[in-house]
């Protein structure tokens, strides 16, 4: 199991995992965001990319590893789980089978809909929701201002840079404020937006810290 950090929020604890996932211990809920299944096949088909389209299988395997370690009662994907509305046409049957194996009587799978995937492929099991409220956390794809509690979302693929005498490291990160946590993108072929970018600052002006995920380790950095 990789390095984890327990973050105390105003509504309760959330565990940040260096593998770019989060866990709500009270409800035993595993959270991931922006998996972008079938982005590789999309880039090959539309952009004539020479990248191998193995990203979906890699992302599913990493999700399976997390489920094996945490043994959650539910898994919630925070939107943009599939890269485009035609991903179902390219999704291999064995990939759908592996995803469906994660959904069982012991573990509920919930898909929060995103802008890339307003519909989830019919071959994939699990509830479809616009948002979920659990343990005082509001779970969404896009950032929302919670009337109370803490919003956990995705969409922006946050990343940050650590500079040192030995050089610098750029990696995905958890972006954290008092009322919002933005998860890093979980997908294999996904980029990121620097937390210092003006667009990011605009949607999260109260950013107080980031937790950089690098080589299955977490580095907490204060931004204040």
The three state secondary structure string of the chain is CCCEEEEEECCEEEEEECCCEEEECCCCEEEECCCCECHHHHHHHHCCCCCCCCHHHHHHHHHHHHHHHHCCCEEEECCCCECCCCHHHHCCHHHHHHHHHCCCCCCEEEEECCCCCCCCCCCCCCEEECCEEECCEEECCCCCCCCCCEEEECCCCEEEEEEECCEEEEEEEEEECCCEEECCCCCCCCCCEECCCHHHHHHCCCCCEEEEEECCEEEEEECC
Alpha-carbon gap, residue 118 to 20, rounded angstroms: 23
pLDDT on residue 106: 86
Which tokens hold the place of 210?
């980031």
CATH number of the domain within which 192 lies: 3.60.21
Confidence of residue 49 (pLDDT cuts 50, 70, 90): low
Alpha-carbon gap, residue 172 to 218, rounded angstroms: 10
Alpha-carbon gap, residue 185 to 172, rounded angstroms: 7
The answer on pLDDT for 143 being more than 90 is: yes
Please answer whether residues 152 and 183 qualify as being in contact, where contact means their C-beta atoms are separated by less than 8 angstroms.
Answer: yes
pLDDT on residue 47: 61
Residue with tokens 């299955």: 216
Q: What is the mean pLDDT of residues 173-191?
A: 94
Distances in Å between the Cα of 171 and the Cα atoms of 3, 21, 123, 218 are 15, 14, 33, 10
Residue, of 158 and 147, whose pLDDT is higher: 158
- Provide the CB-side half-sphere exposure for 82 (13 A, CA): 23
pLDDT 10s digits, 15-32? 999 999 999 999 999 999
The answer on pLDDT for 51 being more than 80 is: no
Q: Whole domain around residue 143: which residue ranges?
A: 4-222
pLDDT 10s digits, 111-130? 999 988 788 888 999 999 99
Q: What percent of the chain has pLDDT over 70?
A: 94
Number of domains in the chain: 1
């Amino acid at each position: 199991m990789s390095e984890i950090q327990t973050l105390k929020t105003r509504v309760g604890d959330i565990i940040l995992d260096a593998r770019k996932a989060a866990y709500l211990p009270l409800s035993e809920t595993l959270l991931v965001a922006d998996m972008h299944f079938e982005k590789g096949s999309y880039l090959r088909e539309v952009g004539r990319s020479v990248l191998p389209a193995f990203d979906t299988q890699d992302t599913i395997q990493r999700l399976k590893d997390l489920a094996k370690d945490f043994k959650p009662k539910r898994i919630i994907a925070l939107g943009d789980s599939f890269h485009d509305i035609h991903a179902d046409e390219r999704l291999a049957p064995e990939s759908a089978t592996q995803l469906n194996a994660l959904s069982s009587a012991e573990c509920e799978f919930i898909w929060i809909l995103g802008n890339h995937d307003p519909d989830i492929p019919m071959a994939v099991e699990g509830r479809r929701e616009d948002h979920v409220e659990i343990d005082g956390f509001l779970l969404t794809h896009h950032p929302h201002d919670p009337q109370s509690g803490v919003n956990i979302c995705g969409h922006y693929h946050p990343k940050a840079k650590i500079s040192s005498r030995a050089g610098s490291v750029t990696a995905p990160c958890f972006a954290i404020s008092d009322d919002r946590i933005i998860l890093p993108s979980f997908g294999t072929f996904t980029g990121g937006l620097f937390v210092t970018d003006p667009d990011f600052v605009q949607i999260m002006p109260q950013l107080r810290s980031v937790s950089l995920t690098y080589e299955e380790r977490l580095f907490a950095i204060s931004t204040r």
